[in-house]
Copies of this chain bind each other. A is one copy, B any other.
Amino acid sequence: MNEKDSKEQILRRSVEAKEIYLPHISADPVIFGFHQNELKVLLARMNYRKQWMLPGGYVKKDEDLDDAVLRILESRAGVTNVFLEEFGVFGKKNRSEYYFEDFDDSLFQKQRFISVGYYALYNSSELSPVADEMSETCEWIYLKQLPEINLAMDHREIIEKALQTLREKISHKPIGYNLLPEKFTLPELQKLYEAILGKPLNRGNFYRKIKNLGILKKLQEQRRGGAHKAPDLYSFDDHQYRKALENGLRNW
């Protein structure tokens, strides 16, 4: 899509948005996935300006905030059934307004927005995200790629805070449950924890710790196909997992 078309698209959307959405309030979800031993986030590349953004959106005038976020996740990223939690509010003046500087001030998107940040944990094996009409693409970006890409507004700061929150919550929220496929191996789980915490963990100690929590079910299968010893497959024991989380899992 060329620049002229994308500008017209933004103008059309402004008219519509003024009808249905609350002014000044937006929600920005940071959707985490885990693949190939790396953490990744789901970002949209906008037609306008070709910058990357969080797949955020607005809140309808007669819609609960939480419902709005669920709707935004589904419509902008094709994501449903995720763990979702608010982690911060971004309310500096001019954090987003300047982005649409070549538009008239009456543009809905150009007003001041206070944005509520949510982090989501998404088991990406189930389905792949879709781009909506506003975005050229919507795709997974690995954390290690982030420094290289062009992120709009304060969205880099929002992602940083989301990641920091993820680290702090790792002992209290069902991180593994929502980021791994139903069946997984202990080495995979360890890689996930290492990716979130950003540091290596000792294998033996990790195994014993995680097993002592009593939240895993060892399956009668193994992951074949690797070059070495076949690791055992596990799945989470839903009931035990939730019970353990009430106390907090542990410190890692």
Query: Given A22-B24, A23-B24, A24-B23 in contact, is the A92-B65 Cβ separation under 8 Å?
Result: yes
Q: 18 A-B pairs, CB-CB below 8 angstroms?
A: A22-B24, A22-B112, A23-B24, A24-B24, A25-B25, A25-B114, A61-B112, A62-B93, A64-B91, A65-B91, A65-B92, A66-B92, A68-B91, A86-B88, A89-B89, A114-B116, A168-B172, A248-B251
CB proximity of A46 to chain B, nearest CB, Å: 25
B-side contacts of A68, CB under 8 Å: 91
CB proximity of A7 to chain B, nearest CB, Å: 26
Task: Report A226-252 CB contacts with B as 1/0, cut-off 8 Å.
Answer: 000000000000000000000010010
A107 to B168, CA, bound (A): 41
Residue positions of A touching B, CB distance < 8 A: 22-25, 59, 61-66, 68, 86, 88-89, 91-93, 112, 114, 116, 168, 172, 248, 251
Q: 8 closest pairs, A vs B, by CB?
A: A65-B91, A64-B92, A22-B24, A89-B116, A86-B89, A64-B93, A25-B114, A65-B114
